[in-house]
Chains A and B, each alone.
Chain A
Amino acid sequence: MTGPYGVGIGWRPEIAGFVAELPGLRFVEVVAESVPATGPLPPGLAQLRERALTVVPHGVRLSLGGAEPVDPARVAHLAAVAQRVDAPLVSEHIAFVRAGGLEAGHLLPLPRSREAVDAVCANVARAQADLPVPIALEPIAALVDWPDDELDEADFLTEILDRTGALLLLDVANVHANARNRGTDPLALLDRLPLERVGYVHVAGGAERGGFYHDTHTDPVPPAVLELVGALCARRRPPALLLERDGDYPPAAELRAELDALAAAANFPAVT
Chain B
Amino acid sequence: MTGAPPPAGNGPRAAVDRAGDPTTGRLAQRQAELVAALVAGGPPPAGFAPGPLAATRAALLRKRAGEVARHWPLLAAGLGAGWPSTFADWAANRPTVGSLRDGWDLARALRERGALPPAGAEELVAREVVLRYDGRSTPRPRRLPAVARAGGAVAAQIAGRVRLLRPAPRPPAALPAGGDGVPDAAGSAAWISD
Instruction: Enumerate chain A interface residues (CB-CB to B < 8 A).
Output: 66-68, 96, 98-106, 108, 111, 115-116, 118-119, 142-149, 181-183, 210-212, 214, 218, 247
| Sampled A-B contacts (5; CB under 8 Å) | A101-B32, A104-B38, A143-B55, A147-B4, A211-B51
List B residues 6-43 near A (Cβ within 8 Å).
Answer: 6, 23-36, 38-40
- CB–CB B66/A103 < 8 A: no
- CB–CB A210/B58 < 8 A: yes
B residues less than 8 Å from A115 (CB atoms): 23-24, 26-27
B residues less than 8 Å from A66 (CB atoms): 28, 31
Which chain A residue shows the least CB distance to B24? A67
List B residues 141-180 near A (Cβ within 8 Å).
Answer: none
A118–B24 CA distance with the chains assembled, in angstroms: 9
Contact among A105, A182, A218 for B64, CB-based, below 8 A? A105
Contact among A106, A145, A183 for B52, CB-based, below 8 A? A145
A182–B55 CA distance with the chains assembled, in angstroms: 14
- CB–CB A143/B39 < 8 A: no
- CB–CB A106/B32 < 8 A: no
- CB–CB A99/B60 < 8 A: no
Shortest C-beta distance, B19 to chain A (Å), equals 11
Say whether, besides A106-B59, A115-B23, A147-B48, A182 and B1 are in contact (CB < 8 Å). Answer: yes
- CB–CB B47/A147 < 8 A: yes
A67–B34 CA distance with the chains assembled, in angstroms: 13
A residues less than 8 Å from B95 (CB atoms): 102-103
For the complex, would chain B's binding face be called helix, strand, loop or mixed by DSSP majority? helix
- CB–CB B40/A105 < 8 A: no
A84–B39 CA distance with the chains assembled, in angstroms: 35
User: What would 16 more interface pairs be, CB under 8 Å, given A102-B32, A103-B95?
Assistant: A67-B27, A67-B31, A96-B31, A99-B34, A102-B36, A102-B40, A105-B60, A106-B63, A119-B27, A145-B2, A145-B49, A145-B52, A147-B3, A147-B46, A147-B48, A147-B49
Contact among B46, B49, B60, B66 for A218, CB-based, below 8 A? B66
Contact among B46, B49, B70, B96 for A144, CB-based, below 8 A? B49
A181–B49 CA distance with the chains assembled, in angstroms: 13
Shortest C-beta distance, A109 to chain B (Å), equals 9
B residues less than 8 Å from A210 (CB atoms): 55, 58
- CB–CB A143/B47 < 8 A: no
A181–B53 CA distance with the chains assembled, in angstroms: 13
B residues less than 8 Å from A145 (CB atoms): 1-2, 49, 52
Q: 6 tightest CB-CB pairs across the interface, nearest first?
A: A100-B32, A147-B47, A67-B28, A99-B31, A67-B27, A99-B32
Which chain A residue shows the least CB distance to B95? A102
Say whether, besides A106-B60, A146-B2, A99 and B28 are in contact (CB < 8 Å). Answer: yes
B residues less than 8 Å from A211 (CB atoms): 51, 55
Say whether, besides A182-B1, A210-B58, A247-B66, A104 and B23 are in contact (CB < 8 Å). Answer: no
Shortest C-beta distance, A260 to chain B (Å), equals 27
Shortest C-beta distance, B67 to chain A (Å), equals 8
Shortest C-beta distance, A154 to chain B (Å), equals 16
Interface residue? B138 (CB, 8 A): no
Contact among A101, A104, A111, A218 for B30, CB-based, below 8 A? A111
- CB–CB A212/B35 < 8 A: no
Interface residue? B56 (CB, 8 A): yes
